[in-house]
Structure 1
Protein backbone atom coordinates (compact mmCIF):
# COMPACT_ATOMS: atom_id res chain seq x y z
CA UNK A 1 0.00 0.00 0.00
CA UNK A 2 2.80 2.41 0.89
CA UNK A 3 6.02 0.80 -0.20
CA UNK A 4 7.41 -2.17 -1.98
CA UNK A 5 8.40 -5.10 0.17
CA UNK A 6 12.05 -5.18 -0.86
CA UNK A 7 14.51 -5.80 1.94
CA UNK A 8 16.20 -2.92 3.74
CA UNK A 9 19.63 -1.89 2.58
CA UNK A 10 21.88 0.00 4.99
CA UNK A 11 21.12 0.46 8.68
CA UNK A 12 18.81 3.41 9.39
CA UNK A 13 17.95 4.10 13.02
CA UNK A 14 16.10 6.92 14.74
CA UNK A 15 15.33 8.76 17.96
CA UNK A 16 11.80 10.16 18.18
CA UNK A 17 11.16 12.38 21.22
CA UNK A 18 7.94 14.23 21.90
CA UNK A 19 8.40 17.99 22.53
CA UNK A 20 6.66 17.94 25.90
CA UNK A 21 9.67 19.02 27.95
CA UNK A 22 13.47 18.76 28.19
CA UNK A 23 15.39 15.50 27.87
CA UNK A 24 15.90 13.64 31.16
CA UNK A 25 18.25 10.76 31.97
CA UNK A 26 15.81 8.13 30.66
CA UNK A 27 15.43 9.86 27.31
CA UNK A 28 19.21 10.29 27.09
CA UNK A 29 19.58 6.52 27.51
CA UNK A 30 17.15 5.92 24.62
CA UNK A 31 18.88 8.48 22.41
CA UNK A 32 22.36 7.21 23.23
CA UNK A 33 21.48 3.54 22.83
CA UNK A 34 19.84 4.09 19.45
CA UNK A 35 22.75 6.29 18.29
CA UNK A 36 25.47 3.86 19.32
CA UNK A 37 23.73 0.87 17.79
CA UNK A 38 23.38 2.75 14.50
CA UNK A 39 26.94 4.04 14.39
CA UNK A 40 28.47 0.75 15.57
CA UNK A 41 26.81 -0.83 12.52
CA UNK A 42 27.93 1.91 10.11
CA UNK A 43 24.40 3.22 9.90
CA UNK A 44 22.58 6.52 9.82
CA UNK A 45 20.79 8.00 12.82
CA UNK A 46 17.75 10.19 12.27
CA UNK A 47 15.80 12.42 14.63
CA UNK A 48 12.03 12.82 14.45
CA UNK A 49 9.99 15.24 16.56
CA UNK A 50 6.75 13.47 17.48
CA UNK A 51 4.53 16.52 17.91
CA UNK A 52 1.26 14.87 16.89
CA UNK A 53 -0.28 15.06 20.39
CA UNK A 54 -0.73 18.83 20.39
CA UNK A 55 -2.22 19.20 23.93
CA UNK A 56 1.06 17.87 25.40
CA UNK A 57 3.43 20.11 23.44
CA UNK A 58 5.53 22.59 25.42
CA UNK A 59 6.58 25.57 23.32
CA UNK A 60 10.32 25.61 22.57
CA UNK A 61 10.91 22.02 23.72
CA UNK A 62 11.89 20.83 20.26
CA UNK A 63 14.66 23.43 20.03
CA UNK A 64 15.88 22.55 23.52
CA UNK A 65 15.87 18.81 22.75
CA UNK A 66 17.93 19.30 19.60
CA UNK A 67 20.41 21.55 21.41
CA UNK A 68 20.75 18.96 24.18
CA UNK A 69 21.49 16.19 21.68
CA UNK A 70 24.23 18.32 20.14
CA UNK A 71 25.70 19.09 23.57
CA UNK A 72 25.91 15.35 24.19
CA UNK A 73 27.63 14.65 20.88
CA UNK A 74 24.60 13.01 19.28
CA UNK A 75 24.50 14.50 15.79
CA UNK A 76 21.77 13.38 13.43
CA UNK A 77 21.95 12.52 9.76
CA UNK A 78 19.46 14.05 7.32
CA UNK A 79 16.77 16.62 8.07
CA UNK A 80 14.50 16.57 11.11
CA UNK A 81 11.02 15.15 10.47
CA UNK A 82 8.14 16.85 12.29
CA UNK A 83 4.90 14.88 12.51
CA UNK A 84 2.89 18.10 12.42
CA UNK A 85 4.12 18.63 8.86
CA UNK A 86 2.85 15.21 7.72
CA UNK A 87 -0.88 15.43 8.43
CA UNK A 88 -1.86 15.26 4.76
CA UNK A 89 0.15 12.07 4.35
CA UNK A 90 -1.46 10.48 7.40
CA UNK A 91 -4.92 11.38 6.09
CA UNK A 92 -4.16 9.89 2.67
CA UNK A 93 -3.13 6.59 4.23
CA UNK A 94 -6.15 6.61 6.52
CA UNK A 95 -8.41 7.00 3.47
CA UNK A 96 -6.63 4.09 1.81
CA UNK A 97 -7.29 1.92 4.83
CA UNK A 98 -10.93 3.02 4.89
CA UNK A 99 -11.32 2.16 1.21
CA UNK A 100 -10.14 -1.38 2.01
CA UNK A 101 -12.78 -1.70 4.76
CA UNK A 102 -10.09 -1.89 7.44
CA UNK A 103 -11.39 1.00 9.59
CA UNK A 104 -14.57 1.50 11.59
CA UNK A 105 -15.97 4.04 14.04
CA UNK A 106 -16.14 3.24 17.73
CA UNK A 107 -18.22 4.96 20.41
CA UNK A 108 -16.97 2.97 23.39
CA UNK A 109 -15.51 4.96 26.27
CA UNK A 110 -12.40 4.10 28.28
CA UNK A 111 -14.65 3.38 31.25
CA UNK A 112 -16.68 0.85 29.25
CA UNK A 113 -13.53 -0.85 27.98
CA UNK A 114 -12.09 -0.99 31.48
CA UNK A 115 -15.27 -2.73 32.65
CA UNK A 116 -14.52 -5.48 30.09
CA UNK A 117 -11.07 -6.18 31.45
CA UNK A 118 -9.20 -3.28 29.85
CA UNK A 119 -9.14 -4.72 26.33
CA UNK A 120 -11.47 -3.68 23.54
CA UNK A 121 -13.81 -6.53 22.58
CA UNK A 122 -14.81 -5.38 19.08
CA UNK A 123 -18.22 -4.14 20.22
CA UNK A 124 -18.60 -1.53 17.45
CA UNK A 125 -16.99 -3.47 14.61
CA UNK A 126 -20.26 -4.41 12.90
CA UNK A 127 -22.38 -1.41 13.92
CA UNK A 128 -21.42 0.74 10.91
CA UNK A 129 -21.42 3.94 12.94
CA UNK A 130 -20.83 7.27 11.25
CA UNK A 131 -17.22 8.45 11.39
CA UNK A 132 -18.18 11.94 12.62
CA UNK A 133 -16.94 12.69 16.16
CA UNK A 134 -16.01 9.07 16.80
CA UNK A 135 -12.76 7.29 17.41
CA UNK A 136 -11.57 5.24 14.43
CA UNK A 137 -10.25 1.73 14.93
CA UNK A 138 -8.16 -0.43 12.63
CA UNK A 139 -9.30 -3.99 12.06
CA UNK A 140 -6.52 -6.31 13.15
CA UNK A 141 -6.08 -8.71 10.23
CA UNK A 142 -2.49 -9.88 10.74
CA UNK A 143 -1.99 -10.33 14.50
CA UNK A 144 1.57 -10.74 15.74
CA UNK A 145 2.18 -12.82 18.84
CA UNK A 146 5.95 -12.81 19.13
CA UNK A 147 9.07 -11.16 17.81
CA UNK A 148 12.82 -11.34 18.29
CA UNK A 149 14.24 -8.42 20.27
CA UNK A 150 17.81 -7.26 19.58
CA UNK A 151 18.63 -7.27 23.30
CA UNK A 152 16.03 -9.44 25.00
CA UNK A 153 15.64 -12.33 22.57
CA UNK A 154 12.25 -13.91 21.92
CA UNK A 155 9.28 -11.86 23.17
CA UNK A 156 5.80 -13.37 23.46
CA UNK A 157 2.66 -11.25 23.90
CA UNK A 158 -0.81 -12.23 25.05
CA UNK A 159 -3.20 -12.94 22.18
CA UNK A 160 -5.85 -10.59 23.60
CA UNK A 161 -3.44 -7.66 23.09
CA UNK A 162 -2.16 -8.82 19.70
CA UNK A 163 -5.66 -9.34 18.30
CA UNK A 164 -7.23 -6.13 19.62
CA UNK A 165 -8.58 -3.57 17.12
CA UNK A 166 -6.86 -0.36 18.22
CA UNK A 167 -7.51 3.34 17.69
CA UNK A 168 -5.70 5.05 14.81
CA UNK A 169 -7.56 8.38 14.95
CA UNK A 170 -8.89 9.81 18.16
CA UNK A 171 -12.34 11.18 18.88
CA UNK A 172 -10.83 14.69 19.08
CA UNK A 173 -9.58 14.38 15.50
CA UNK A 174 -5.91 13.80 16.30
CA UNK A 175 -4.10 10.90 14.66
CA UNK A 176 -3.04 8.22 17.13
CA UNK A 177 0.56 7.32 17.89
CA UNK A 178 0.14 3.70 16.78
CA UNK A 179 -0.63 4.81 13.23
CA UNK A 180 1.75 7.71 12.70
CA UNK A 181 4.83 6.10 14.23
CA UNK A 182 4.66 3.32 11.64
CA UNK A 183 3.92 5.69 8.76
CA UNK A 184 6.93 7.79 9.76
CA UNK A 185 9.20 4.75 10.00
CA UNK A 186 8.08 3.64 6.54
CA UNK A 187 8.59 7.12 5.08
CA UNK A 188 12.07 7.39 6.59
CA UNK A 189 12.98 3.80 5.62
CA UNK A 190 13.89 2.96 9.21
CA UNK A 191 15.49 -0.48 9.46
CA UNK A 192 16.21 -0.67 13.20
CA UNK A 193 14.19 0.75 16.10
CA UNK A 194 16.00 0.97 19.45
CA UNK A 195 13.88 2.46 22.24
CA UNK A 196 12.69 1.98 25.81
CA UNK A 197 11.06 -1.13 27.23
CA UNK A 198 7.85 0.80 27.94
CA UNK A 199 7.07 0.25 24.24
CA UNK A 200 7.88 -3.47 24.29
CA UNK A 201 4.33 -4.80 23.96
CA UNK A 202 2.96 -2.17 21.52
CA UNK A 203 5.67 -3.42 19.15
CA UNK A 204 3.49 -6.34 18.06
CA UNK A 205 0.78 -3.94 16.89
CA UNK A 206 3.32 -1.96 14.92
CA UNK A 207 4.79 -5.08 13.33
CA UNK A 208 1.27 -6.05 12.26
CA UNK A 209 0.66 -2.62 10.77
CA UNK A 210 3.90 -2.74 8.77
CA UNK A 211 2.61 -5.99 7.29
CA UNK A 212 -0.86 -4.58 6.60
CA UNK A 213 0.78 -1.69 4.74
CA UNK A 214 2.97 -4.03 2.70
CA UNK A 215 6.11 -2.41 4.13
CA UNK A 216 9.34 -4.04 5.38
CA UNK A 217 9.32 -4.73 9.12
CA UNK A 218 12.25 -3.15 11.02
CA UNK A 219 14.21 -4.96 13.69
CA UNK A 220 13.28 -3.86 17.21
CA UNK A 221 15.38 -3.58 20.35
CA UNK A 222 14.15 -2.41 23.75
CA UNK A 223 16.44 -0.84 26.33
CA UNK A 224 15.83 -0.95 30.09
CA UNK A 225 13.86 1.93 31.54
CA UNK A 226 15.41 4.26 34.06
CA UNK A 227 13.01 4.38 37.02
CA UNK A 228 12.91 6.44 40.20
CA UNK A 229 11.40 3.42 41.96
CA UNK A 230 9.91 0.14 40.72
CA UNK A 231 7.13 0.83 38.21
CA UNK A 232 7.70 4.61 38.26
CA UNK A 233 9.71 5.48 35.16
CA UNK A 234 11.48 8.75 34.64
CA UNK A 235 9.33 10.81 32.29
CA UNK A 236 8.40 14.37 31.44
CA UNK A 237 4.91 13.73 32.80
CA UNK A 238 6.48 12.71 36.12
CA UNK A 239 8.62 15.87 36.15
CA UNK A 240 11.94 14.08 35.78
CA UNK A 241 14.88 16.46 36.09
CA UNK A 242 16.43 17.76 32.89
CA UNK A 243 19.97 16.54 32.21
CA UNK A 244 22.95 18.88 32.61
CA UNK A 245 23.47 21.01 29.52
CA UNK A 246 26.76 22.61 30.61
CA UNK A 247 28.87 19.67 31.86
CA UNK A 248 27.58 16.57 30.07
CA UNK A 249 30.57 14.26 30.51
CA UNK A 250 29.56 12.78 33.88
CA UNK A 251 25.95 12.20 32.81
CA UNK A 252 27.07 10.74 29.48
CA UNK A 253 29.41 8.27 31.16
CA UNK A 254 26.63 7.32 33.60
CA UNK A 255 24.29 6.64 30.67
CA UNK A 256 26.98 4.44 29.09
CA UNK A 257 27.26 2.46 32.33
CA UNK A 258 23.48 2.09 32.39
CA UNK A 259 23.73 0.53 28.91
CA UNK A 260 26.45 -1.92 29.94
CA UNK A 261 29.55 0.06 28.92
CA UNK A 262 31.94 0.69 31.80
CA UNK A 263 33.99 3.68 30.74
CA UNK A 264 37.37 4.46 32.26
CA UNK A 265 37.14 7.41 34.64
CA UNK A 266 39.88 9.14 32.68
CA UNK A 267 37.23 9.81 30.05
CA UNK A 268 35.80 12.43 32.40
CA UNK A 269 38.61 14.66 31.18
CA UNK A 270 37.88 13.89 27.53
CA UNK A 271 35.64 15.92 25.25
CA UNK A 272 32.09 14.78 24.59
CA UNK A 273 32.98 13.88 21.01
CA UNK A 274 35.93 11.77 22.22
CA UNK A 275 33.67 9.91 24.66
CA UNK A 276 31.12 9.19 21.92
CA UNK A 277 33.78 7.92 19.50
CA UNK A 278 35.16 5.63 22.22
CA UNK A 279 31.66 4.39 23.06
CA UNK A 280 30.92 3.46 19.43
CA UNK A 281 33.91 1.10 19.43
CA UNK A 282 32.89 -0.32 22.84
CA UNK A 283 29.21 -0.91 21.99
CA UNK A 284 28.03 -4.53 22.05
CA UNK A 285 24.39 -5.56 22.07
CA UNK A 286 25.11 -8.52 24.31
CA UNK A 287 26.22 -6.18 27.10
CA UNK A 288 22.93 -4.26 27.26
CA UNK A 289 21.11 -5.34 30.45
CA UNK A 290 18.05 -7.47 29.73
CA UNK A 291 16.11 -5.90 32.61
CA UNK A 292 12.91 -4.02 31.83
CA UNK A 293 13.72 -1.52 34.60
CA UNK A 294 16.84 -0.24 36.37
CA UNK A 295 16.48 2.05 39.35
CA UNK A 296 18.44 5.29 39.10
CA UNK A 297 19.86 6.66 42.34
CA UNK A 298 21.58 10.03 42.13
CA UNK A 299 23.17 12.63 44.33
CA UNK A 300 25.15 15.73 43.54
CA UNK A 301 28.31 13.82 42.60
CA UNK A 302 27.35 10.34 41.40
CA UNK A 303 24.95 7.98 39.66
CA UNK A 304 24.28 4.47 40.92
CA UNK A 305 21.97 1.81 39.48
CA UNK A 306 19.91 -1.03 40.92
CA UNK A 307 18.64 -3.62 38.40
CA UNK A 308 15.03 -4.63 39.08
Structure 2
Protein backbone atom coordinates (compact mmCIF):
# COMPACT_ATOMS: atom_id res chain seq x y z
CA UNK A 1 0.00 0.00 0.00
CA UNK A 2 1.37 3.39 -1.02
CA UNK A 3 1.31 5.58 2.08
CA UNK A 4 3.05 8.53 0.45
CA UNK A 5 1.47 11.92 -0.19
CA UNK A 6 2.15 13.67 -3.53
CA UNK A 7 4.63 16.50 -3.10
CA UNK A 8 2.22 19.11 -4.45
CA UNK A 9 -0.33 18.19 -1.74
CA UNK A 10 2.01 18.22 1.25
CA UNK A 11 1.73 21.04 3.78
CA UNK A 12 4.87 23.18 4.25
CA UNK A 13 5.82 21.40 7.48
CA UNK A 14 4.69 17.96 6.36
CA UNK A 15 2.13 17.90 9.19
CA UNK A 16 -1.32 16.58 8.38
CA UNK A 17 -4.00 16.07 11.02
CA UNK A 18 -7.65 15.11 10.93
CA UNK A 19 -10.94 15.10 12.79
CA UNK A 20 -13.06 12.04 12.04
CA UNK A 21 -16.54 12.03 13.61
CA UNK A 22 -19.05 9.21 13.17
CA UNK A 23 -22.39 10.50 11.82
CA UNK A 24 -24.51 8.88 14.52
CA UNK A 25 -26.06 12.10 15.80
CA UNK A 26 -25.30 15.78 16.47
CA UNK A 27 -21.77 16.85 17.33
CA UNK A 28 -21.68 16.69 21.12
CA UNK A 29 -19.34 18.54 23.46
CA UNK A 30 -16.80 15.73 23.81
CA UNK A 31 -16.43 15.63 20.04
CA UNK A 32 -16.13 19.42 19.94
CA UNK A 33 -13.19 19.18 22.36
CA UNK A 34 -11.53 16.63 20.06
CA UNK A 35 -12.15 18.84 17.04
CA UNK A 36 -10.71 21.92 18.76
CA UNK A 37 -7.64 20.01 19.97
CA UNK A 38 -6.88 18.45 16.60
CA UNK A 39 -7.48 21.77 14.83
CA UNK A 40 -5.15 23.74 17.11
CA UNK A 41 -2.48 21.04 16.99
CA UNK A 42 -2.48 21.18 13.18
CA UNK A 43 -2.39 24.99 13.15
CA UNK A 44 0.45 25.08 15.70
CA UNK A 45 2.53 22.91 13.36
CA UNK A 46 1.73 25.01 10.30
CA UNK A 47 0.04 21.94 8.82
CA UNK A 48 -3.24 20.88 7.29
CA UNK A 49 -6.42 19.88 9.11
CA UNK A 50 -8.79 17.51 7.35
CA UNK A 51 -12.30 16.33 8.21
CA UNK A 52 -13.31 12.77 7.46
CA UNK A 53 -16.84 11.51 8.09
CA UNK A 54 -16.51 7.95 9.36
CA UNK A 55 -19.70 6.56 7.83
CA UNK A 56 -18.25 3.06 7.51
CA UNK A 57 -20.99 1.51 9.69
CA UNK A 58 -24.25 2.05 7.75
CA UNK A 59 -26.59 0.55 10.40
CA UNK A 60 -25.51 3.26 12.87
CA UNK A 61 -25.53 6.22 10.45
CA UNK A 62 -28.27 8.75 11.17
CA UNK A 63 -29.53 10.51 8.02
CA UNK A 64 -28.55 14.17 8.03
CA UNK A 65 -26.11 13.78 10.93
CA UNK A 66 -23.00 14.40 8.82
CA UNK A 67 -24.43 17.62 7.41
CA UNK A 68 -25.43 18.73 10.92
CA UNK A 69 -21.93 18.00 12.27
CA UNK A 70 -20.26 19.95 9.45
CA UNK A 71 -22.63 22.88 10.05
CA UNK A 72 -21.67 22.84 13.74
CA UNK A 73 -17.94 22.93 12.90
CA UNK A 74 -18.59 25.88 10.60
CA UNK A 75 -20.60 27.64 13.33
CA UNK A 76 -17.57 27.37 15.61
CA UNK A 77 -15.23 28.73 12.95
CA UNK A 78 -13.47 25.50 11.98
CA UNK A 79 -13.07 24.90 8.26
CA UNK A 80 -11.11 21.92 6.90
CA UNK A 81 -8.26 22.32 4.47
CA UNK A 82 -9.66 20.73 1.35
CA UNK A 83 -12.86 18.80 0.70
CA UNK A 84 -14.57 16.76 3.39
CA UNK A 85 -13.84 13.06 2.96
CA UNK A 86 -16.42 10.32 3.38
CA UNK A 87 -15.10 6.98 4.54
CA UNK A 88 -17.71 4.92 2.68
CA UNK A 89 -16.18 6.08 -0.61
CA UNK A 90 -12.97 4.27 0.32
CA UNK A 91 -14.60 0.82 0.53
CA UNK A 92 -12.63 -0.57 -2.46
CA UNK A 93 -9.41 0.55 -0.76
CA UNK A 94 -10.46 -1.15 2.49
CA UNK A 95 -11.31 -4.35 0.62
CA UNK A 96 -7.94 -4.35 -1.12
CA UNK A 97 -6.17 -4.00 2.22
CA UNK A 98 -8.02 -7.02 3.62
CA UNK A 99 -7.10 -9.10 0.58
CA UNK A 100 -3.47 -8.03 0.90
CA UNK A 101 -3.33 -9.04 4.56
CA UNK A 102 -4.92 -12.39 3.72
CA UNK A 103 -2.45 -12.99 0.89
CA UNK A 104 0.48 -12.11 3.17
CA UNK A 105 -0.71 -14.51 5.86
CA UNK A 106 -1.36 -11.60 8.22
CA UNK A 107 -5.12 -12.20 8.36
CA UNK A 108 -7.37 -15.25 8.41
CA UNK A 109 -11.01 -16.25 8.10
CA UNK A 110 -12.77 -16.73 11.43
CA UNK A 111 -15.94 -18.67 12.22
CA UNK A 112 -16.40 -17.35 15.77
CA UNK A 113 -19.22 -15.13 16.96
CA UNK A 114 -19.04 -12.77 19.90
CA UNK A 115 -20.78 -15.41 22.00
CA UNK A 116 -17.83 -17.73 21.40
CA UNK A 117 -15.38 -15.39 23.11
CA UNK A 118 -14.37 -15.86 26.76
CA UNK A 119 -15.65 -13.44 29.38
CA UNK A 120 -12.44 -11.40 29.00
CA UNK A 121 -13.40 -10.60 25.41
CA UNK A 122 -9.88 -11.48 24.27
CA UNK A 123 -9.94 -13.63 21.15
CA UNK A 124 -8.19 -16.94 21.99
CA UNK A 125 -6.98 -17.74 18.47
CA UNK A 126 -9.58 -20.43 17.76
CA UNK A 127 -9.37 -20.16 13.97
CA UNK A 128 -5.75 -19.04 13.61
CA UNK A 129 -4.68 -22.36 12.11
CA UNK A 130 -7.85 -22.90 10.10
CA UNK A 131 -11.57 -23.17 10.69
CA UNK A 132 -12.49 -25.88 13.21
CA UNK A 133 -14.75 -28.67 11.91
CA UNK A 134 -18.36 -27.58 11.57
CA UNK A 135 -17.62 -23.86 11.42
CA UNK A 136 -17.87 -21.61 8.38
CA UNK A 137 -16.16 -18.29 7.82
CA UNK A 138 -17.98 -15.33 9.32
CA UNK A 139 -15.39 -12.58 9.60
CA UNK A 140 -11.75 -11.85 8.83
CA UNK A 141 -9.27 -11.18 11.64
CA UNK A 142 -5.87 -9.50 11.62
CA UNK A 143 -3.18 -11.75 13.06
CA UNK A 144 -1.66 -9.56 15.79
CA UNK A 145 2.13 -9.71 16.17
CA UNK A 146 3.72 -11.86 18.85
CA UNK A 147 6.15 -9.13 19.88
CA UNK A 148 5.02 -6.21 22.05
CA UNK A 149 3.81 -3.05 20.33
CA UNK A 150 5.38 0.11 21.74
CA UNK A 151 3.07 3.13 21.77
CA UNK A 152 4.02 6.68 22.67
CA UNK A 153 1.87 9.67 23.53
CA UNK A 154 3.42 13.01 24.56
CA UNK A 155 0.82 13.44 27.31
CA UNK A 156 0.72 9.88 28.62
CA UNK A 157 4.25 8.65 28.03
CA UNK A 158 5.26 5.40 26.35
CA UNK A 159 4.00 1.89 27.01
CA UNK A 160 4.24 -1.58 25.53
CA UNK A 161 1.20 -3.68 24.75
CA UNK A 162 1.02 -7.39 24.03
CA UNK A 163 -2.00 -7.45 21.77
CA UNK A 164 -2.52 -11.20 22.05
CA UNK A 165 -3.15 -10.62 25.76
CA UNK A 166 -5.19 -7.41 25.64
CA UNK A 167 -7.45 -8.02 22.65
CA UNK A 168 -6.28 -10.96 20.55
CA UNK A 169 -6.57 -11.07 16.77
CA UNK A 170 -8.58 -8.08 15.58
CA UNK A 171 -11.69 -8.24 13.38
CA UNK A 172 -11.06 -6.27 10.20
CA UNK A 173 -14.07 -7.44 8.16
CA UNK A 174 -17.21 -8.08 10.12
CA UNK A 175 -19.69 -10.94 9.78
CA UNK A 176 -22.13 -8.55 8.08
CA UNK A 177 -19.54 -7.81 5.39
CA UNK A 178 -18.72 -4.28 6.50
CA UNK A 179 -15.12 -3.31 7.18
CA UNK A 180 -14.28 -2.73 10.82
CA UNK A 181 -13.30 0.65 12.22
CA UNK A 182 -9.76 -0.44 13.13
CA UNK A 183 -8.93 -1.36 9.53
CA UNK A 184 -10.79 1.49 7.83
CA UNK A 185 -9.22 4.18 10.03
CA UNK A 186 -5.71 2.87 9.38
CA UNK A 187 -6.17 2.48 5.62
CA UNK A 188 -7.59 5.99 5.30
CA UNK A 189 -4.92 7.55 7.54
CA UNK A 190 -2.25 5.90 5.39
CA UNK A 191 -3.86 7.01 2.15
CA UNK A 192 -4.35 10.59 3.36
CA UNK A 193 -0.83 10.86 4.79
CA UNK A 194 -1.99 11.64 8.34
CA UNK A 195 1.08 12.33 10.49
CA UNK A 196 -0.61 12.72 13.89
CA UNK A 197 -3.91 11.41 15.24
CA UNK A 198 -5.38 13.71 17.90
CA UNK A 199 -8.51 12.28 19.52
CA UNK A 200 -10.24 11.55 22.83
CA UNK A 201 -8.76 9.23 25.43
CA UNK A 202 -11.71 6.85 24.95
CA UNK A 203 -9.86 5.61 21.84
CA UNK A 204 -6.49 5.11 23.50
CA UNK A 205 -6.97 1.32 23.49
CA UNK A 206 -7.07 1.43 19.68
CA UNK A 207 -3.58 2.90 19.36
CA UNK A 208 -1.67 -0.36 19.74
CA UNK A 209 -3.77 -2.39 17.33
CA UNK A 210 -3.87 0.44 14.79
CA UNK A 211 -0.12 0.88 15.04
CA UNK A 212 0.33 -2.86 14.34
CA UNK A 213 -1.98 -2.59 11.32
CA UNK A 214 0.00 0.38 9.99
CA UNK A 215 3.17 -1.72 10.14
CA UNK A 216 1.49 -4.74 8.55
CA UNK A 217 0.35 -2.58 5.62
CA UNK A 218 3.86 -1.23 5.10
CA UNK A 219 3.23 2.28 6.45
CA UNK A 220 4.75 4.47 9.13
CA UNK A 221 2.30 4.88 12.02
CA UNK A 222 1.25 8.43 12.87
CA UNK A 223 2.00 10.03 16.21
CA UNK A 224 -0.73 9.66 18.84
CA UNK A 225 -2.17 12.34 21.12
CA UNK A 226 -5.14 11.45 23.34
CA UNK A 227 -7.11 14.33 24.82
CA UNK A 228 -8.95 14.34 28.17
CA UNK A 229 -12.48 13.03 28.27
CA UNK A 230 -15.47 15.07 29.38
CA UNK A 231 -17.46 13.22 32.05
CA UNK A 232 -20.56 13.77 34.14
CA UNK A 233 -20.75 13.93 37.92
CA UNK A 234 -20.69 10.12 38.09
CA UNK A 235 -17.46 9.94 36.14
CA UNK A 236 -19.17 8.56 33.05
CA UNK A 237 -18.40 9.81 29.56
CA UNK A 238 -20.76 12.67 28.78
CA UNK A 239 -23.80 11.37 26.94
CA UNK A 240 -24.42 12.51 23.41
CA UNK A 241 -28.07 12.97 24.34
CA UNK A 242 -27.47 15.26 27.31
CA UNK A 243 -29.89 18.15 27.18
CA UNK A 244 -27.31 20.39 28.86
CA UNK A 245 -24.67 19.79 26.20
CA UNK A 246 -22.78 23.11 25.80
CA UNK A 247 -22.75 22.78 22.00
CA UNK A 248 -26.47 23.52 21.92
CA UNK A 249 -27.10 24.99 25.37
CA UNK A 250 -24.55 27.82 25.18
CA UNK A 251 -23.53 30.48 22.63
CA UNK A 252 -20.70 29.28 20.35
CA UNK A 253 -18.05 31.55 21.89
CA UNK A 254 -18.95 30.42 25.41
CA UNK A 255 -18.86 26.73 24.43
CA UNK A 256 -15.49 27.22 22.68
CA UNK A 257 -14.07 28.90 25.79
CA UNK A 258 -15.22 25.90 27.84
CA UNK A 259 -13.62 23.48 25.36
CA UNK A 260 -10.35 25.39 25.70
CA UNK A 261 -10.61 25.06 29.49
CA UNK A 262 -10.97 21.28 29.10
CA UNK A 263 -7.77 21.36 27.06
CA UNK A 264 -5.86 23.27 29.73
CA UNK A 265 -6.07 26.61 27.94
CA UNK A 266 -8.57 28.79 29.87
CA UNK A 267 -8.91 32.03 27.91
CA UNK A 268 -8.15 35.31 29.70
CA UNK A 269 -10.98 37.70 30.54
CA UNK A 270 -12.14 39.85 27.68
CA UNK A 271 -11.91 37.16 24.97
CA UNK A 272 -15.61 36.97 24.25
CA UNK A 273 -15.90 36.53 20.50
CA UNK A 274 -15.01 33.52 18.38
CA UNK A 275 -12.37 35.48 16.46
CA UNK A 276 -10.72 36.72 19.66
CA UNK A 277 -10.77 33.25 21.22
CA UNK A 278 -9.24 31.61 18.16
CA UNK A 279 -6.55 34.27 17.85
CA UNK A 280 -5.58 33.77 21.49
CA UNK A 281 -5.75 29.97 21.29
CA UNK A 282 -3.58 29.75 18.17
CA UNK A 283 -0.97 32.00 19.77
CA UNK A 284 -1.06 30.21 23.13
CA UNK A 285 -1.42 26.55 22.17
CA UNK A 286 1.09 24.26 23.89
CA UNK A 287 0.72 20.48 24.09
CA UNK A 288 2.34 20.45 27.52
CA UNK A 289 -0.60 22.38 28.98
CA UNK A 290 -3.15 19.70 28.08
CA UNK A 291 -4.22 17.70 31.16
CA UNK A 292 -4.65 13.94 31.20
CA UNK A 293 -7.38 13.76 33.83
CA UNK A 294 -11.05 13.74 32.75
CA UNK A 295 -12.93 17.04 32.96
CA UNK A 296 -16.15 16.94 34.92
CA UNK A 297 -18.87 19.04 33.35
Query: Structure 1-normalised TM-score?
Result: 0.87
User: What 5-or-longer segments of structure 2 have no aligned partner?
Assistant: none
CA distance in 2, matches of 1:92, 1:165: 19
Tell me the residue number matched to 1:286. Answer: 288
Q: 1:104 to 1:237 in 2, by over 3 A?
A: farther
**Corresponding residue of 2:211:** 207
- Tell me by how many angstroms 1:118 deviates: 1.8
Give distance in 1, aligned partners of 2:163 and 2:59: 32
Give the secondary-structure state (helix, strand or coil) at the position aligned to 2:141. strand
> For residues 213 and 35 of structure 2, what CA distance do their matches in structure 1 show?
24
SS at match of 2:118: helix
Deviation (angstroms), 1:141 = 3.0
Structure 2 counterpart of 1:186: 190
Q: C-alpha offsets along residues 220-265 of structure 1, whole Å, 9 cap, x if unaligned?
A: 0000110114452124377884713882011100110110012123
**Secondary structure of the equivalent of 1:232?**
coil
2:161 corresponds to = 157
1:23 aligns with 2:30: no
The answer (yes or no) to whether the contact 1:12–1:189 under 8 Å persists in 2 is yes
Q: Quote the offset at 1:133 in angstroms.
A: 5.7
> Does the 8 A contact of 2:155 with 2:226 survive in 1?
yes
- Aligned partners of 2:23 and 2:54 also within 8 Å: yes
**1:248 counterpart (246, 252, 266):** 252
Query: Quick one: distance in 2 between partners of 1:22 and 1:59?
Result: 11
Partner Cα distance (2:144, 2:29) in 1:
35
TM-score by length of 2: 0.90
Which of 220, 226, 229 is the aligned partner of 2:230?
Answer: 226
CA contact (8 A) 2:26 2:65 kept: yes
1:72-83 matched pairs, under 5 angstroms: 72-83=76-87
* Structure 1 residues without counterparts, runs of 5 or longer: 297-308
CA contact (8 A) 2:4 2:191 kept: no
Which shifted more, 221-230 or 195-204? 221-230
Q: How big is each residue's C-alpha offset from its partner over 1:263-295, in whole Å with a ceiling of 9 and x where there is no partner?
A: 123112x2x13311210111111110022x222
Q: CA deviation at 1:131?
A: 10
The aligned counterpart of 1:139 is 143
Q: Distance in 1 between matches of 2:275 and 2:136?
A: 52
SS of aligned partner of 2:296: strand
Partner residue, 1:299: none
Q: CA deviation at 1:114?
A: 3.2
Question: 1:73, CA displacement in angstroms?
Answer: 1.1
Corresponding residue SS for 2:218: coil
Tell me the equivalent position of 1:47. 51
